[in-house]
Structure 1
């Protein structure tokens, strides 16, 4: 049976995932806007784009779109599998949404910035930024051009993803500083310590949301809509205790594994299966020996009686 036969609502599923990706990018943009107005810094890529766009008297949306077009050309040439609808949504809308939300925020709120407002905006910005990243990532419709660079370099240069990502983030951070982009505490947190929050949102919000909506797309019904609201309403916020390594793992998940990493993972799984079979075989042998000894003792007891 073809894929279309198995899932006659495949187009609806793709549409729903695309909307999820768009919502994720919008929430991400709200978070970036709050970090921007709070003067706590932004992720290295956006910070660099803001710095350069200001010098060129271009809007962030226009300059970031042009930058993404240049990057995506290299991504298509080197590894087009990382490109999807989500890639287009991110590269086209993220920058413009930050522009729109920044204008809306300025129009709605008129106050003198203080340390307190900076802290509040920064904390809310990080929460929204990581939530949006998690939702966008979980939709699994392709990666942002910037996030495709490190895994491609890792695969092509045979260097660990971890080191490629560090060089990439630090390089863009230095470039953002030179360009006068908004670098601050949030830049460091997003680059190195955002993993725990993104992982938290994955497990408590994004995966449940995407699974529920994808399930609905296969068999649409009013009952499932009600169940989806019920699941969303029961999601809560908890703290997580992981940092840098988990952030790298999350970024790697966002970027997808390279071919070499997939091969290494496959080999590890084979070894695990082999070890599991050996353990099972030994357990069966030991169980047989125990049962045999148990029967022998029972026979001896029956003879004594």
Structure 2
């Protein structure tokens, strides 16, 4: 029963994250680094949605992580990849575009807060990392470089490639980069889970 509760919490967290991602994209003020890349792919590949681009990127990242560091994806990693992509496309079709600049900023700020909270919910379930977190750990293991440098380099790389391919970069991109961390920390406080901040790799489920 405890495992079932953890999986439910994990899935709810991923759905919350998906809502936040869609809000930041719909704000149209600049997306998060990985979303800049995902959106840029949709501009060059017919019939590709943002959610499917996220899934394909996640699959590529999982395979790359396995080949360079033999990091096998957990069931949580696979669910993360599939569910977030599916939910992004579903929610994109439901949430309307903001009609004024004020609503754009409401979407952006709300999206950042929601993503931070959603991440806190799903990581404290300890059911596995996301594909990009697995890649972070694979590169850290392979090259023995601090994980924060790896994370920053990956996000910067995704941002630059996405921008060159026509992805949306703007003030929102900066706000997201600066805002997610603090919102995650606040959310972990609210959940009473400060001790779990660095437990991304734990897989109790």
TM > 0.5 fold call: yes
Which residue does the alignment assign to 1:188? Answer: 174
User: Which range moves more in the overlay, 92-101 or 66-75?
Assistant: 66-75
Which residue does the alignment assign to 1:73? Answer: 63
Alignment check: 8 A CA contact 1:148 1:255 kept: no
In 1, the alpha carbon distance for the partners of 2:29 and 2:123 equals 24
In 1, the alpha carbon distance for the partners of 2:94 and 2:8 equals 22
Relative contact order (C-alpha < 8 Å, sep 6+): which is higher?
2
In 1, the alpha carbon distance for the partners of 2:166 and 2:157 equals 14
Pairing 1:26–2:12 present: no
Which residue does the alignment assign to 2:138? Answer: 152
Q: Which one has the largest radius of gyration?
A: 1
- Deviation of 1:146 after TM superposition, in Å, equals 1.0
In 2, the alpha carbon distance for the partners of 1:103 and 1:87 equals 25
- Deviation of 1:255 after TM superposition, in Å, equals 4.3
Which residue does the alignment assign to 1:95? Answer: 85
Alignment check: 8 A CA contact 2:23 2:110 kept: yes
Which residue does the alignment assign to 2:49? Answer: 59
- The TM-score with structure 2 as length reference comes to 0.86
Alignment check: 8 A CA contact 1:151 1:255 kept: no
In 2, the alpha carbon distance for the partners of 1:143 and 1:54 equals 28
- The TM-score with structure 1 as length reference comes to 0.60
The CA deviation string for residues 159-199 of structure 1, in whole angstroms up to 9 with x for no partner, is 22222122111111111111222323332233344222101
The CA deviation string for residues 12-58 of structure 1, in whole angstroms up to 9 with x for no partner, is 22222111111111111111111111113332112211210232121
Match of 1:42 among 25, 28, 31: 31
Gaps of 5+ in 1: 1-11, 209-249, 258-305
Alignment check: 8 A CA contact 2:71 2:134 kept: no
Alignment check: 8 A CA contact 2:112 2:179 kept: no
In 1, the alpha carbon distance for the partners of 2:200 and 2:177 equals 14
Gaps of 5+ in 2: none
Pairing 1:86–2:79 present: no
Q: Which has the higher helix share?
A: 1
- Deviation of 1:100 after TM superposition, in Å, equals 0.9
Alignment check: 8 A CA contact 1:25 1:136 kept: yes
Question: How many aligned residue pairs are there?
Answer: 199
Alignment check: 8 A CA contact 1:60 1:99 kept: yes
In 2, the alpha carbon distance for the partners of 1:183 and 1:97 equals 23
- Deviation of 1:156 after TM superposition, in Å, equals 1.4
